[in-house]
Amino acid sequence: MFANADIPPLIPRPAAMERYGDDFELASDTAIVADAANCNNAAYLRDLLAAPTGFSLPIVLTPLADAPTPAKAIRLKTDPAQAGGREGYRLDVTPETVEITAAAPTGVFYGIQTLQQLLPIEIERRNLVSDLRWRVPGLVIRDAPRFPWRGFMLDQARYFHGKATVLRLLDLMALHKLNVFHWHLTDDQGWRIEIKKYPRLTEVGGWRRETVVGRWREDEANPPFDGARHGGFYTQDEVREVVAYAAGRGITTLPEIEMPGHAQAAIAAYPELGNTGQQLDVATRWGIIENVYNVEEHTIRFLQDVLDEVMDLFPSQFIHIGGDEVPKKQWRESAAAQRRIQELGLKDEDALQSYFVHRMDAFLAGRGRRLVGWEEILEGGLAPGATIMSWRGEQGGIAAALAGHDVVMTPTHWTYFDYYQSQETNREPLAIGGYVPLEKVYIYEPIPAAIDPIHAHHVLGTQAQLWTEYVPTPEHIEYMTFPRLCALAEVAWSPVTGKDYPGFLNRLRPHLERLRLLGVHFRPLDV
């Protein structure tokens, strides 16, 4: 085992690690030897190492009958017998070889991420670093994730940051072995994905006239606005590029199309989707907004058309339909909504929402997909195939898991990265409120005590949420996300045994130097 000072500062901490023997040293004649399944991994590794080392490492694809066995090599191997599932891997470092073995290429990819973190932090530089010995400590690591769902949610509706920001975040997610990018693409304040059949969604819904300034308060009659038009959207070509880029890093992109609430941008584009017939603007202020979709057949068809285009773009098994914070006022006051409740023989507005979610669940299931929504879709009865995200606390997740539904634990108390990182809020950029410091993220346990071992497998995992009402720039995204995402990654990947906050901080300090070289605008530990 490692002497303490010797532990490489890996984040997330691997499941098992032992030190033995001498270091491996990367040299210009080191070959990357890979089987056919790891062709992309080999190219990824070569490109990762090229700029700072100045080495253009040869790739040798096996089996090649006459391929000479290189003296020094990094070997990338697929072996169906390797333990650890699709994402697990084994990494062996001796003076002659670095060998990464996994049951699937995704596991090898994670082994490469570990190798990257074992190399000197200068490996993150994008220009040549001379006079440095590229050593990897001799060791063996056996690693596999604790949870299959290790996510990061980014709200692109409140502020739009564009493709380059997303690609960079995907790289940083991969470095931390996260595997679900939850892309919140529509909300009251903006519709951010091109839908060919309904161009006004982005022409109109993609832009708001201005944005409220400062902390939004429901009771403030005349808040200040910035007078600046804000908007933008991802074209379908950009979406395909993001999805492919993520897939190349083991990341599934989960699209979220909000319904039946958080819908004002869409209703501004197509007023017939609403309940009042009124021509609305795209929302310019935050909070929970009364303008929700109606539940008429034409609206259900519209949303299913949107989902059809979304499913063409996103191969993700799960499709997120939002479902949170749906005020029922307009349904209560609308003659059409009341008629619909009568026609369908429903009890009340909660049952109407449940009916709506059931329709979407059946629609997605009919196309081989699975619906996921925020926990409010429990209200009025959960659709049979639905998976929920438990955000207001743990209760929704507990209820759903005990009823046999899958859940992703996303409670505000531990996973909301729009909350403050310090109690000295006057020293922090304006945030929505709350208090989720690094340690709170780190100590989070995604399987609540109330879920017995029989049902624990329904907890698929956890993810961080970054809502962006108060996060206008990419630098600010990074400030809110790091280092808390390092802690979340460890919660989702590493075994509970060995969880230790001071130990995590010891690894985090050098890891932050790595992030600094990557240009990440993380929040410093001591401010």
The footprint of ligand ACM (CB under 6 A) covers 324-325, 374, 391
Please state the closest distance from residue 153 (CB atom) to ligand ACM, in A. Answer: 9
Cβ proximity to ligand ACM, 141 vs 292, nearer residue: 292
Residue 519 contacts by C-beta under 8 Å, 6 or more apart in sequence? none
Please state the closest distance from residue 468 (CB atom) to ligand ACM, in A. Answer: 12
Please state the closest distance from residue 288 (CB atom) to ligand ACM, in A. Answer: 8
β-strands 252-259, 180-184 pairing: parallel
**Catalytic site includes residue 343:** no
Please state the closest distance from residue 380 (CB atom) to ligand ACM, in A. Answer: 18
Please state the closest distance from residue 374 (CB atom) to ligand ACM, in A. Answer: 5
Cβ proximity to ligand ACM, 82 vs 481, nearer residue: 481
Query: How far is the C-alpha of 323 from the C-alpha of 300, rounded, in Å?
Result: 14
Per DSSP, the residues of 164-199 read HHHHHHHHHHHHTT--EEEEE-EETTEE-B--TT-T
Please state the closest distance from residue 507 (CB atom) to ligand ACM, in A. Answer: 30
Nearest-Å Rg of the Cα atoms of the chain is: 24
Cβ proximity to ligand ACM, 238 vs 324, nearer residue: 324
Give the alpha-carbon dihedral of 498, 446, 106, 466, to 10 degrees: -120
Considering 176, 184, 230, 262, which one is annotated as catalytic?
A: 262
β-strands 73-78, 31-35 pairing: parallel
Cβ proximity to ligand ACM, 307 vs 372, nearer residue: 372
Query: How far is the C-alpha of 436 from the C-alpha of 417, rounded, in Å?
Result: 7
First to last CA, the chain: 35
Query: How far is the C-alpha of 420 from the C-alpha of 301, rounded, in Å?
Result: 40
Upstream peptide bond of 260 is cis (omega within 30 degrees of 0): yes
Residue 406 contacts by C-beta under 8 Å, 6 or more apart in sequence? 387, 388, 400, 458, 459, 460
Q: What angle do CA 267, 271, 272 make, to 5 degrees?
A: 115
Please state the closest distance from residue 324 (CB atom) to ligand ACM, in A. Answer: 4
Cβ proximity to ligand ACM, 17 vs 283, nearer residue: 283
Considering 210, 241, 325, 379, which one is annotated as catalytic?
A: 325
**Catalytic site includes residue 262:** yes
Q: Whose CB is nearest to ligand ACM?
A: 324
Considering 187, 194, 394, 406, which one is annotated as catalytic?
A: 187
What's the token pair of residue 67? 């391929």
- Is 114 strand, coil or helix? helix
Per DSSP, the residues of 386-455 read -EEEE-S-SHHHHHHHHTT--EEE--HHHHBTTSBSSS-GGGS---SS-B--HHHHHH--SS-TTS-TTT
Give the alpha-carbon dihedral of 58, 61, 67, 68, to 10 degrees: 50
C-alpha dihedral sign at 391, 185, 329, 370: negative
Please state the closest distance from residue 498 (CB atom) to ligand ACM, in A. Answer: 32
Cβ proximity to ligand ACM, 388 vs 486, nearer residue: 388
Cβ proximity to ligand ACM, 211 vs 468, nearer residue: 468
Cβ proximity to ligand ACM, 324 vs 350, nearer residue: 324
Report the largest interatomic distance among the alpha carbons of the chain, rounded to a whole angstrom: 79
Please state the closest distance from residue 388 (CB atom) to ligand ACM, in A. Answer: 11
Query: Which residues are 369's β-sheet partners?
Result: none
**Catalytic site includes residue 187:** yes
Cβ proximity to ligand ACM, 78 vs 156, nearer residue: 156
Q: Which residues are catalytic?
A: 187, 262, 325
